[in-house]
Homo-oligomer: A and B are copies of this chain.
């Protein structure tokens, strides 16, 4: 309510155009090629995120421009190096986290805002990129994140070596390709939610990640839920959300 009043006052005083006011009141900003959801942060606790794949560089710039006006943090997923170059030419302050294919525009440094941390545990070196995407997304939620890589079940003592660190986390993201068995093993050893991300790492009958996906959905250990294949972003998002809810502000 106060928001409405404040907006109208800004219009009255000329500090806000009619169009801008309409956007803020409706929570919607329209471009020719996009309908931006400015109310998302209020509704879901996190601002609209842009899916980079398949968007032209100019569309991306257009969308980011509009969002930067309204959001403290603008995140673009699946951004290619080409897209990143174009965007960073326009705004050199935008960060490109290449290993996670993320473009990150933020007015403040990302610092841990609460106790505890999220653990991102990846089975193999090849799951690196997806793990990083999850880690950086959770960091955008103000979570501290620890990444633990290459502790797959073929050498299970590697997992045990890191177990205390993993058990200390508030939420665990488990990233694995091939047969994806790590999620079940992990969930049987911890008392925290495990968000499992199947990756498309593998060949032959891994069918682009379907093998790991099915494994994770059928986990005999409890406390596991699954996101789409290679969807590190989705897992990091959910982990951040759970951590935010479970932890005390620092």
Contact = CB atoms under 8 A, between A and B. Distances in A.
A150 B206 contact: no
A99 to B, nearest CB: 10
Counted per complex, copies of this chain come to 8
B237 A126 contact: no
A228 to B, nearest CB: 4
B184 A40 contact: no
Contact of A238 (B35, B59, B191, B224): B224
Interface stretch (A1-9, A26-34, A83-91): A26-34
Contacts of A110: none
Contacts of A142: none
B154 A184 contact: yes
Which of A179, A216, A234 has the largest count of B CB atoms less than 10 A from its CB?
A179
A221 B154 contact: yes
Interface residues of A, number: 95
Contact of A223 (B156, B214, B237): B237
A203 to B, nearest CB: 6
A49 interface: yes
Given A155-B40, A204-B200, A228-B218, A181 B184 contact: yes
A192 interface: yes
A218 B179 contact: yes
Contacts of A223: 44, 46, 237-238, 241
Contacts of A231: 203-204
Interface of A: 26-28, 33-37, 39-40, 43-46, 48-49, 51, 53-55, 59, 78, 123-126, 128, 149-158, 161, 170, 178-181, 184-185, 187-193, 195, 198, 200-231, 233-235, 237-238, 241-242, 245-246
7 contacts: A35-B150, A37-B155, A54-B126, A156-B185, A179-B218, A212-B218, A225-B234
5 closest pairs, A vs B, by CB? A204-B229, A37-B155, A225-B225, A45-B191, A181-B181
